[in-house]
Structure formats: C-alpha cells, structure tokens
Amino acid sequence: MNNNLDNYFEELKIKTNEIYTISNNVRKLGFDLKPYVEIPLASDIGSRVEGLISTIYPNILNSGIRERILELENIYPKLDLRIALIIAKEVSEQKFCKFKNIIEAAEIGVRIGFSYLTLGVISAPIEGFINFEIKQTTQNKNYLEMNFAGPIRAAGGTAGAFSVLIADYVRKNLKFENFDITEEEQNRFITEVLDYDKFATKLQYLPSEEEIKILVQNLGIEISGNETEDREVSNFKDLKRIKQNKIRGGMCLIIAECLIQKAPKILKRIQKWGNEFNLQNWLFLEDLVSLQKKQKQTKNNSNNNDFTSTKYLDDIVAGRPIFTFPNTKGGFRLRYGRSRNTGFASTGISSETFEILEDFLGYGTQLRIEKPGKSTIVMPVDNLESPIVKLKSGEIIKLDSIKKAKKYSDKIEEIIHLGDILISYGEFSENNHNLLPVGYTPEEWELELEEKIN
C-alpha cells in the first residue's frame, strides 16, 4: 500500500515537471507576455513563500530562503511567529540576495515573514501591505511609516497584527527611530477609526478611544495607507505628517481588528520570549489588555476572574434573534469537548434545540457569541443535554428526543433551558481566553462513581 502511494506521488511529480518543461519551451517562442511560466512549483511552505513574493521580486527565487525556513522549522514549531521574525530580519539584512536600498530590503523581509504566517497562499503580503516610507521625527531623525490597503483583511486579524510586530522588529534591527506621535495625530487616529466604523464599514471590533490612544502612543512604527473612501475624516485634517484627509481603510483595519482586537494574543507571545528578540517595547500591551478586561467587567459579576461581556450585542442587526443574554439562567450551558462535526469556530448544540427554535437556527448557521471568540457556526450533536420547556398545559418536560421535540414544538409556552453548547478547549486556547466553570457532566459522574465503588 505504502509503495503504491509513493509511486503515485512520484508519478505526479514526474508528469508535472514534464508539463512545465513543455510549457516553458512554448513560452520561449514569444507569443506570451513572459518567456516562462509565472507560477513556480511549490512542494512545501518555504517554496510557496518564495513563489508568492517572487511575483513582485523575482531575485529571491531559489535564493536559499526556502532552505532557511525548513531549517528554522527544525528549531521552532511550524508556523511559529519566531520563524517569521528571524527570516524577515535575515532577508532585510540581505543575507540571501541584494536589494536596491534599505527600504526595499525591509519591505521584502516583512513580506517574507508575513507570507510565512499566512502559509504563502493569500495575496495580503503583496497587496495588503503596500510599502514603507521614511519620514522624519520632530527631531529630524528617520522613522518608518507602514502603509496598508483593503486586501489586508484577507490575512485575518492575528496575521495582520503580527505583520506590524515583524515590521517593528525589522525597524529596530535597521536602527530606525521610534514614531514620536503628537497629540493632534493621536486624535486623528481615534477620529478616523470611529468615522470608518460609522460612515464606511462596520468593524468586527470597534475599540474605545482609550484603547486606540494606548496603542498609537506606544507603537514604534506609524500605521498609514491609501485613501479608500470618498468621505474625508470629520476632524484633524491637513496635518503635517498625515497628508491624506480621506479615510484610510487599511489603516483602520490594522488598528482596530488586528492590533487592538488581537492584543491578548500578541502579549502572550511577548511575555514568553519577547526579551529574546528585544521586543520589550511591546509590553505596553499589558496596559491595553488590562483596560479591555475592565471594559468587559460588569457590576454583577465580581466573584470570579472572568467577566461577562455585552459588547458583542452592540451591533445587532435588525431582525436577527437573540437566543440568550450573557450569564442568563436558561441560556446555553457550556460543555467542553468536540464532536465529529464540530471543531475550530464550529460548536455543537443539542439536536432537539434546533427543533424548538422555530427554524431561526439551522445547521451550519453562523452565530455571534459572547466568548471565547467572535463567532461560530453551530451543528447538531445528539448526546448533549437537551432543552427543558414548559408547555401551555403547565407541564414541564425535558425534550430528550427529536420525536418528542417535534411532537411538542407548537405547544411550548416557555423555554426554561436551551440545553448544552459544546465548545472545544482549543477555542479558548486560540482566543487566549480563561477556561470557565462548567456544569455537572456524565464523565464527571462516572469518575465519582468509580471512586466510590473502589
């Protein structure tokens, strides 16, 4: 079996190379725009990274970057942020090939590191991150401005945030000064992000003014980008170092949905190995994360280390049902685990719960949730705790079968308990969220029974 599989993949490789040889020979005849096939073959992540960035800078192809990435993956876990930092730094130091100037070297270095984190399969490292510009501090020293465009959204919040961390690491290594933001510039960032959410596109995470202020005050690199909206920012226009008056969508996305929303994830890594990479300046995120926790705290929940958050309810779309409010009795009860049809950003609820919610909830429906992440899709799981309802007759019953749920669905006066929601531990880990207390489960009962019998 294994020999047959090896032979199959070897044949695929041989035939693919034959096709590429034929295609390149045809391209050499001069009937196409380029005399070679533009899409390079990629058998691993290092090859994909080289291939993607070579579309804008062909010299890096076969320069040794792929081999260096594979070497680093033997030292650190695959897709570890430290690999992205190291490879970005080494490329910017021109260890693999030479560049026209230090800015081009820095840009390609960041693109390589950014591309590694996004698996070399999306365009954000070459279209979302536009370029660097050298600007002057108030003391006439050079600092870097990092420009973003709308396609940065494709990278996702975590990778987008890490791209700025990589850029700052490269900046410090190349001896550029910190961005010395003025009070007017701080207010411009705050106003622009709020205007973007109000007049352009609703942000997945709308930070408070205090959150934006803490971030931009401490970033060593200026975040900017192209004008993406026809509307001008409502205030703080015509600033000396911010020439654009129209709203910059890429900048707003990086500030709000990447750096601020993913601050706990960045901080977790900085606290772990930040000193090793001279990134202690990012410890300011402790203040930002502390502020975020305070903002989530409610008066009626001071007995534990976690806080009920109602922020996710702020942007409710008209017509969308709310199934339960945070920490409300009768709402979904947390159960840790994973079914075959659930996993990352996919949770499970009782099959009977779907039946009694009047078709508002369907298999694969996306929900906004309070925690541990922003949203999830829901799937049916048949061995979770079922809903409990009060019938119009006054009888209280547990709907522990689909047959029973169908029978009584139109006779329900009140839903007393929605049943369990199955969320994997990985969801909490990925979102850097504390584990929460759960209800009494059959597994816990079995362990106690075994202990008593023994």
Residue 135's pLDDT is what?
96
CA atoms of 121 and 45, how far apart (whole Å): 9
Q: Is the pLDDT of residue 302 over 60?
A: no
**pLDDT tens figures, 187-199:** 999 999 999 999 9
Residue 310's pLDDT is what?
67
More confident residue, 234 or 307: 234
Q: How many other C-beta atoms are found inside a 10 Å radius of the C-beta of residue 276?
A: 9
Residue 66's pLDDT is what?
93
Lowest mean pLDDT among 23-32, 281-290, 363-372: 363-372
Lowest mean pLDDT among 92-96, 112-116, 331-335, 363-367: 363-367
**pLDDT tens figures, 419-442:** 999 999 988 887 778 888 888 888
pTM greater than 0.85 (yes/no):
no
Residue 118's pLDDT is what?
94
Nearest to 182 by CA among 240, 255, 246, 244: 240
Q: How far is CA 289 from CA 97, 160, 372, in A?
A: 40, 18, 15
Q: Is the pLDDT of residue 311 over 80?
A: no
Q: Mean pLDDT score of the chain, rounded to an integer? A: 90
What mean pLDDT is predicted for residues 106-114?
A: 97
Measured CA angle at 243 (ends 132, 209), to 5 deg: 85
Residue 44's pLDDT is what?
85
- Assign 61 a pLDDT band (cuts: 50, 70, 90): confident
CA atoms of 377 and 234, how far apart (whole Å): 37
Q: Is the pLDDT of residue 340 over 80?
A: yes
What mean pLDDT is predicted for residues 286-314?
A: 68
CA atoms of 324 and 434, how far apart (whole Å): 21
Residue 348, SS3 per DSSP: strand
**pLDDT tens figures, 388-431:** 999 999 999 999 999 999 999 899 999 999 999 999 998 888 77
* CB 446 within 8 Å of CB 425: no
Residue 389's pLDDT is what?
95
CA atoms of 149 and 129, how far apart (whole Å): 6
Question: 434 — alpha (psi -120 to 50), left (phi > 0) or beta?
Answer: beta
CA atoms of 274 and 172, how far apart (whole Å): 13
Lowest mean pLDDT among 29-43, 119-133, 141-155: 29-43
Residue 309's pLDDT is what?
64
- Assign 6 a pLDDT band (cuts: 50, 70, 90): confident
Helices (H), 357-441: 402-408, 425-430
Q: Which pair of structure tokens corresponds to residue 313?
A: 């309810």
Measured CA angle at 199 (ends 195, 200), to 5 deg: 100
Q: Is the pLDDT of residue 301 over 90?
A: no
Residue 315's pLDDT is what?
64
Sign of the CA dihedral with 6 first, then 11, 16, and 21 last: positive
CA atoms of 159 and 153, how far apart (whole Å): 10
Residue 304's pLDDT is what?
46
**pLDDT tens figures, 207-239:** 999 999 999 999 999 999 999 999 999 999 999
Residue 303's pLDDT is what?
41
Residue 4's pLDDT is what?
83
The residues with which 388 forms a beta bridge, in sequence order, are: 398, 417
